[in-house]
């Protein structure tokens, strides 16, 4: 069974208010390393280490392997488990996961791939549009239309479910919705890419429950890597409360993904794939040119 995680850590602090100081305690978002390993054909390989918030580690590992093209789908995974080496301390056992692949699956570039380490970005690998094209990824399908009313209601739904953020104020979130705005899965992490990997890992490991996935909402900005993960995870609409990067827009247009940014209140910008948003509510869309 997957460890529920130690998502919060209590700390002591000094609160300063003008000339007044007082001792206090608060909760912090926990940040610890996770070593992601793959076992295939009797060979165990460490893919890389990411700094993450403990919890949903199996989903994180699955989502990352899928996003980076190391596995073709969640069906390639037969088992995920924590390290069981008794020589390690209990906490360290929960900081290493091994993903066992099916015997007929040949992990792509397994021996050649190593990944950079960053708590901000998770474990980042692929870096260009050409890489994704070479993997045989196709443009995203049309999917059902999504109304602007549904889109503008997503942040409130996500915020209401961000339990660890509420107590720490220090986590990113990613949430997966269907076309009607019903929440399918929400995950939090100190790394915004990790939060997305956890959600897409959940979808890969629960294909029946995730079959209606239509929209991914992230609590920060949209980068190339976030769009990449949506393309691989076959989520046709990506929404963010902040701005996209230039390469994120280029990639969204290349793979026909609907990219929404500056989703705040009743307004948002559409940078790509506007056709998926119902025409009857087009007046609610804020044109990107209106923002300096």
Domain chopping of the chain, boundaries: 32-123, 148-290
Instruction: Provide the pLDDT for residue 291.
Output: 47
- The answer to whether 32-123 and 148-290 have equal CATH topology is no
Instruction: Provide the pLDDT for residue 88.
Output: 65
Distance CA 278, CA 152 (A): 13
Strands, sheet with 77-82, edge to edge from the N-terminal-most edge strand: 43-52, 32-40, 96-101, 77-82
Q: Name the active-site residue from 83, 121, 230, 239.
A: 121
The rounded Cα 18 to chain-centroid distance in angstroms is 40
Instruction: Provide the pLDDT for residue 254.
Output: 94
Distance CA 82, CA 236 (A): 32
Instruction: Provide the pLDDT for residue 281.
Output: 46
Residues in the chain predicted with pLDDT less than 50, given as ranges, are 1-5, 109, 111-112, 281-292
Instruction: Provide the pLDDT for residue 110.
Output: 54
Select the CATH number that applies to the domain covering 148-290 from these four: 3.60.110.10, 3.40.50.720, 3.65.10.10, 3.40.140.10: 3.40.140.10
* CATH number, span 32-123: 3.10.20.10
How many residues comprise the chain? 292
Interval 161-194: pLDDT, tens: 887 666 666 688 999 999 999 999 999 998 899 9
Active site includes 239? no
């Amino acid at each position: 069974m997957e460890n529920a995680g130690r998502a919060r850590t209590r700390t002591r602090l000094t609160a300063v208010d003008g000339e007044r100081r007082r001792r206090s305690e608060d909760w912090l978002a926990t940040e610890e390393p996770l070593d992601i390993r793959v076992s295939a054909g009797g060979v165990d390989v460490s893919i890389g280490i990411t700094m993450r918030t403990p919890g949903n580690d199996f989903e994180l590992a699955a989502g990352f392997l899928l996003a980076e093209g190391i596995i073709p789908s969640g069906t390639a995974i037969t088992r995920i488990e924590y390290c069981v080496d008794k020589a390690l301390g209990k906490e360290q056992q929960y900081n290493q996961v091994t993903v066992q692949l099916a015997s007929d699956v040949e992990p792509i570039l397994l021996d050649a791939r190593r990944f950079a380490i960053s708590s901000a970005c998770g474990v980042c690998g692929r870096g260009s549009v050409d890489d994704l094209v070479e993997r045989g990824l196709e443009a995203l399908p049309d999917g059902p239309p999504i109304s602007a009313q549904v889109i503008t209601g997503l942040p409130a739904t996500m915020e209401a479910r961000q339990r660890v953020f509420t107590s720490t104020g220090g986590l990113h979130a990613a949430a997966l919705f269907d076309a009607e705005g019903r929440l399918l899965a929400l995950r939090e992490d100190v790394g915004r890419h990790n939060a997305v990997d956890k959600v897409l890992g959940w979808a890969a490991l629960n294909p029946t429950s995730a079959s209606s996935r239509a929209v991914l909402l992230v609590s920060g900005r949209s980068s190339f890597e976030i769009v990449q993960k949506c393309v691989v995870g076959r989520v046709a609409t990506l929404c963010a409360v902040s701005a996209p990067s230039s390469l994120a827009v280029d990639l969204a247009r290349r793979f026909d993904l609907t990219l929404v940014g500056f989703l705040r209140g009743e307004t948002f910008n559409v940078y790509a794939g506007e056709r998926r948003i119902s025409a009857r509510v087009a007046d609610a869309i804020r044109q990107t040119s209106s923002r300096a």
